[in-house]
Amino acid sequence: MANNRLNREQETRAKEVRKQAWRRPETLPSPDEHPDWQYRWIRVATQGQTDATNVSSKLREGWEPCKASDHPEITIVAIEHERFAENIVIGGLMLCRAPKEMVEERNEYYRQQTAAQMQSVDNNFMRENDPRMPLFNERRSKVTFGNG
């Protein structure tokens, strides 16, 4: 046999690590995931004017502001408003959280609203149906390609 062969343990198949392309950093940092909470950035100001209506509606909806002390992973904290001095506010947006169950209930409510609106549109559309020239109400599309 050949005496100049290397042992398998000494062989490596490691390849060069591909250089990572530069990417633009995130404008808004993401907080660490928590199994019980859903996070969202809520607008508190736009073009330097506070948006009290939006903030109060979101707080009534169940979102609560996150404290800066609860999220040490978000280091770039700019205190732009005295009212939200202990919260995380970046670029007119404040980090808020809500229980995942509440967010799922809210999403289900809007899904039902959308389904009711679609049913109403379908009923209104099919009301114009005539047996001599029937209307089709298919919500599927099909894409085909030519053979050549």
Q: How confident is the model at residue 103 (pLDDT cuts 50, 70, 90)?
A: very high
| Residues 63 and 94: beta-carbon distance below 8 Å | no
pTM over 0.85: no
Structure tokens at 70: 């609860």
- Which of the residue ranges 17-31, 49-63, 90-104 would you say has the lowest mean pLDDT? 17-31
What CA–CA distances, in Å, run from 89 to 59, 97, 100?
15, 13, 22
Q: Do 94 and 42 form a contact (C-beta atoms < 8 A)?
A: yes
Domain extents in the chain = 37-100
Cα–Cα distance for residue pair 101/89, rounded to 1 Å = 25
pLDDT tier for residue 124 given thresholds of 50, 70 and 90: confident
